[in-house]
Amino acid sequence: MIDLLVVGGGPAGLATALHAARAGLDVQVWEPRAAPVDKACGEGLMPTAVAALAELGVDPAGADLTGIRYVAGARSASAPFRSGLGRGVRRTTLHAALHSAALAAAVPVRPQRFSTLTQDEESVTVDGVRARYVVGADGLHSAVRAAAGLGARPAGLRRYGQRRHARVAPWTDRVEVHWGPSAEAYVTPLGSGEVGVALLTTRRAPFAHLLTEFPELSERLAGAQMSPTLGAGPMLQRTRARTAGRVLLVGDAAGYVDALTGEGVALALAQAREAVAACAAGDPVSYEGAWRRVSRRYRLLTHALVLPTQLPAARNRLVPLAAAFPRVFAGAVDALGG
């Protein structure tokens, strides 16, 4: 019997495996997709994510991010990260760095897909493999979450994300969030003549169509070579709890609100650390409180931002208000930074 089986080898799963290896646990990861795994993501790592990666000895190449700028037409509001630099990192670069670190730590990453689990008081059996604990890190549509009975009925807004890379020299060292009539465009400088553009919206329309909501941004991207579109969603995923017996959920599998604040990877890394601490202490139930603690501010801030901004009047006022109250905006950006 192994100590820990991690299902899903994205950022949450690989970070869990790295923490587990450090804690001396016998751990393996199941990830059916070949490295480096790509995903629809805004690719902005908040300063806390950069610090949590450094703690694991992972230092992916990218472009320094100094803060966040909200843009709506000619209006904008900008604030720095005060707690350090964030980083714009291509998703495949992040995955490759975490994957190499896992291999260097002698963690087996098996090309295997989870399908079923059963558990008793001492172990969990996953598709014939027995482990003392299982961490479900299999993303937004987690099969582990469903199998452990931890999913909750979907409710609320169904928002989707799409991402493309544009071969164009970055024009800023801040993450830009452009507010259009029905969508947000999240622009991240990635270095080496490239920016990532993630569009977040309730509308299911092609990327090029949604981009017309942002004339200034469209102009900057005009003529640039664009990568194919990757999509994800619906982003809002609810869970009724994060542990069931010896099964724990981390990252998007544990529940997700929205990508608007760009914190998914930072949260996944924090949850990975807490889940391993709970397993190493033989106290999986303690993870529930730790999960609440590390994700509370994200859940409150993201709900507070996403729900009201679906109303046109609130959308129109957001950037002028942020510009008019720079300290409040700076405080919010500071909170994101860590």
> What is the residue type of 335?
A
Minimum distance of ligand FAD from residue 47's CB (angstroms): 11
Contact 291, 271 (CB under 8 A): yes
* Residue 47 binds ligand FAD (CB under 6 A): no
Q: Is 255 in the site for ligand FAD (CB under 6 A)?
A: no
Residue type, 182: S
Q: Select from 131-139, 145-153, 278-286, 301-309 the region that touches ligand FAD (CB under 6 A).
A: 131-139
Minimal distance, residue 31 CB to ligand FAD, in Å:
5
Within residues 235-254, the interface with ligand FAD by CB under 6 A covers 235, 251-253
Q: Which is nearer to ligand FAD, 114 or 329 (CB)?
A: 114
Tell me if 113 contacts ligand FAD by CB under 6 A: yes
**Which helix H or strand E contains 323, and what residues bound it?**
helix 312-324
User: Using the rule CB under 6 A, which residue among 268, 279, 332, 333 binds ligand FAD?
Assistant: 268
The residue (of 10 and 338) whose beta carbon lies closer to ligand FAD is 10
H runs (alpha helix) in 184-310: 207-211, 215-221, 264-280, 286-306
Q: Which helix (H) or strand (E) holds 45?
A: strand 44-45
The torsion of the CA quartet 96, 14, 251, 165, rounded to 10 degrees, works out to 0
Span 200-219, contacts to ligand FAD by CB under 6 A: 200
Burial 206-225 (b: 16+ CB within 10 A, else e): ebeebbebbeebeebbeebe
Say whether residue 44 binds ligand FAD (CB under 6 A): yes
The least distance separating ligand FAD from the CB of residue 306, rounded to whole angstroms, comes to: 13
Smallest gap from residue 294 Cβ to ligand FAD (A):
13
Chain centroid to CA 173: 20
Beta strand 194-201 pairing with 160-167: antiparallel
Q: Contact positions toward ligand FAD, by CB under 6 A?
A: 7-13, 30-33, 37, 39-45, 49, 113-114, 137-139, 143, 161, 163, 198, 200, 232, 235, 251-253, 259, 262-266, 268
